[in-house]
Structure 1
Amino acid sequence: MCGAGITTTDGKVRTVDVPWARPGSGFTLLYEALALRLIEREMPVNRVAEILKVNPQRIWTIFNHWISKAKAADDPSTITKLGVDETSTKKGHHYVTLGVDLDEARVIHVTEGKGKATLQSIQQHLEDKGVDKEQVEQISMDLSPSFIAGAAESFPSAQITFDRFHVVKLLNEAMNQVRIAERKEHDALKGHKYTFLKNRENLSDKKEKELDELIQLYPTLGEAYRLKVLFNDLWEMPDKPTAEAFLRQWCDEVDAAKIPAFIKFANTVRGHWSGIVHFVESLISNGILEGINSKIQLAKRRARAVATSTISLI
């Protein structure tokens, strides 16, 4: 209950606020805390409502109240390193872009879309909270041209680090294109997609042995795999001059190998050189964003499952 009834001197009953409930809520603070805890544990709202024996809208009301209160009280005043990434919210081209304080590992703003305007929205949110755009010194993001343009305009003092996970994803796509081309001519490569994409330490003993045999049997595939493994040494370079020297040598080796998919990737590296090399100085990535995006996708799948179950019962 949200209040207690007292009897006045004239015999009437009057409701008064009590310290264990929020005025107008209809629930105790402990009840609301339980509802939020269940949601935090990634339980769908409909399921929370079922457990607590109330209409789902009442749970949404509790959720919206406390989230709104938390957003209003949020203080991003110490942010200097910003991570930016987009994720889909439903089928089709529906996206949101997340801005994350990389030092605090927490979301500071979410906005619809995935283009240049999303960086402007994040900057405006920070400005509304009293954070000058010049305060953001580092940004980690993917290689999207619209993100690059948005960062340059909205956070002109920030140095860009292109997220290593996105760069490695492009490298693995190049590796897979080589495998697909070779697979068309060699049936022995069937079922070995992840043999070449996984890190060697993540392979079983059997797969590791098969990998060693395949890179000996198919020289083009073997050279592509060597270049893939070698590239990832970049992330361990001690400083910028060493990283740049390493990367120049790597690109020269790609040119000599004449493997089209890797030449294309090397050209992408050359076009985004400073932001890739800058990782060895900034040491920032979008790893925390990948974890947050995974939770968003999990929530989306669970919501779809609940909707499907509801429809099947109608």
Structure 2
Amino acid sequence: MGIAVEALFTSALGLQPPWVVDDVRLDIAKRRIDFEIGCHTSRLACPACGAATQPVHDRLRRSWRHLDFFQFEAWLHCDVPRVACGACGKTTQVAVPWARAASGFTAAFEALALILCLDLPVRQAAELLRCKDKRLWRRIEFYVAQARALEDFAGVRTVGIDETSLRRGQHYITVVHDLDRKRLLFATEGREHRTVVEFAEDLKAHGGDPAQVRHVCMDMSAAYAKGVALALPEAQISYDRFHVVSMAIEAMDQVRRAEMATDAQAVRAALGAGGRKTLRQLLWGMRRNPSTWSARQLQAMHWLQRSTLKSARAWRLKMALRAVYARATAHNSIEQAASDLRAWLSWARRCRLEPFKKLAATLKERFDAVVRGMVDHRSNAFVEAMNGLLQQAKRAARGFRTSQNFIAIAYLRMSKLKHLPASPFAPAMPT
């Protein structure tokens, strides 16, 4: 290679004296290009104490994977100097300008890997980059930890707390989101009250104040409620409206399943020809909103409403609870919401349907927090959406190896981190 080519690559790699490209070797058969970088000086500043013009003691051979050169794998090689410092007495290896310490990738390669992992499963990103996915996980964890250490949580006032499954069985992580800025604040393994305490400690470590958190939206977890009482003393709890309605849907499903198990033949006889198909339409019609019913579901639901089945009563109770929430949103009145909810609870306690009687008792115990969830127009819908995206990513990647992997990718994708490495493909500044 001529000197002009070496100078070209020295500039392309952004090297400054004493670092220069001494040689470039292209192997078309191996689809690989290797850059030999030299450090042309016998004296450098001490990396340990900063003392200037200290002698180079020796040089150690190092290699780094770089961004591909066209279709070729690119590698940088350098005999990196170690400085023997007369001021501090240490012999220390100097830092190279193209990579962080102890990394086998250049900084530009690591930045590209993070960008790919924002949208792709880590295993797929590793295949595109032609490296092991374990090496990418280590980079994700390093840069996420570095970026989170610089995050500022001052001003966090409203949070949503939820759980998401890590793998089959009783393995969960707790996630805490900033509902105002729509970002993931904290994630940790487990779903006990200590997870909320750990969040409060993490909040303080990032400049936030647990006493300034005024509102917590969550499901009806007794463990989370205990944690909020211990760690977020000024926060009011409101129970997520979607969670409450989901509990009503589950109570309705319990009534339907029990009735179909005990009186299935009588129900099919009452339905007449095509009874099995109508039962399937009832299953989905009872769960869906009337505005989304298909023609067959509409016909089946009209039959249900004219019947004397317990399932019909359960469906009316579920729809009545939805109506309570709709009126609370329309009127935005705590008094009206409380009055409507008390009326619904009275009906549910007298309905002779055990699942709804249990639900009524649960809501009565948490009455004030349920009412707040009706009128404050906050919900964990954002948290649930993010959990759904996490589960999709986990399935696409065929599972994460550890909880640390799961949490790291959650932070990378959902925390809106401001201090990650810049893209190596950012547009050039105008001249």
Bin of the TM-score, shorter chain as denominator length? 0.7 to 0.9
State the one-letter code of the partner of 1:76.
F
- How far the C-alpha of 1:75 sits from its partner, in A, is 1.2
- How far the C-alpha of 1:28 sits from its partner, in A, is 4.7
Partner Cα distance (2:146, 2:158) in 1? 25
- Give the structure with the higher percent helix: 1
1:288 pairs, out of 379, 382, 391, with: 382
- How far the C-alpha of 1:6 sits from its partner, in A, is 4.0
- How far the C-alpha of 1:129 sits from its partner, in A, is 1.8
Residue 193 of structure 1 aligns with which residue? 283
* Aligned partners of 2:100 and 2:106 also within 8 Å: no
1:300 matched to 2:394:
yes
Partner Cα distance (2:350, 2:99) in 1? 70
Normalising by structure 2, what TM-score?
A: 0.65
Residue-by-residue CA offset, 1:112-135 (whole Å, 9 max, x unaligned): 110111111111111222322210
Could you tell me the percent identity over the aligned residues?
30
State the one-letter code of the partner of 2:373.
F
- Give the structure with the higher percent strand: 2
Which stretch shifts more, 62-71 or 235-244? 62-71
Q: Which runs of 5+ in 1 are unaligned?
A: 308-314
* Aligned partners of 1:8 and 1:14 also within 8 Å: no
Partner Cα distance (1:99, 1:209) in 2? 43
Partner Cα distance (1:258, 1:286) in 2? 31
1:213 matched to 2:306:
no
CA RMSD of aligned residues (A): 2.5
Partner Cα distance (1:129, 1:280) in 2? 32
Per the alignment, in what secondary structure is the counterpart of residue 95 of structure 1? strand
1:85 matched to 2:175:
no
Per the alignment, in what secondary structure is the counterpart of residue 97 of structure 1? strand
Partner Cα distance (1:261, 1:306) in 2? 37
* Aligned partners of 1:127 and 1:133 also within 8 Å: yes
1:56–1:219: structure 2 CA closer, same or farther, 3 Å change rule? closer
Per the alignment, in what secondary structure is the counterpart of residue 190 of structure 1? helix
Residue 232 of structure 1 aligns with which residue? 322
Q: Which runs of 4+ in 1 moved over 6 A?
A: none
1:152 matched to 2:246:
no
Partner Cα distance (1:9, 1:93) in 2? 60
- How far the C-alpha of 1:295 sits from its partner, in A, is 2.4
* Aligned partners of 1:183 and 1:190 also within 8 Å: no
1:101 matched to 2:178:
yes
Partner Cα distance (2:115, 2:216) in 1? 32
1:36–1:53: structure 2 CA closer, same or farther, 3 Å change rule? same
Residue 269 of structure 1 aligns with which residue? 363
* Aligned partners of 1:235 and 1:279 also within 8 Å: no
Residue 249 of structure 1 aligns with which residue? 343
* Aligned partners of 2:200 and 2:231 also within 8 Å: yes
- How far the C-alpha of 1:300 sits from its partner, in A, is 2.9
1:66 matched to 2:98:
no
- How far the C-alpha of 1:14 sits from its partner, in A, is 6.4
Residue 312 of structure 1 aligns with which residue? none
Residue-by-residue CA offset, 1:17-65 (whole Å, 9 max, x unaligned): 44xx443445455433332222111x22222111111232332233223
Partner Cα distance (2:400, 2:237) in 1? 40
Partner Cα distance (2:251, 2:367) in 1? 18
- How far the C-alpha of 1:219 sits from its partner, in A, is 4.3
1:73–1:183: structure 2 CA closer, same or farther, 3 Å change rule? same
- How far the C-alpha of 1:271 sits from its partner, in A, is 1.1
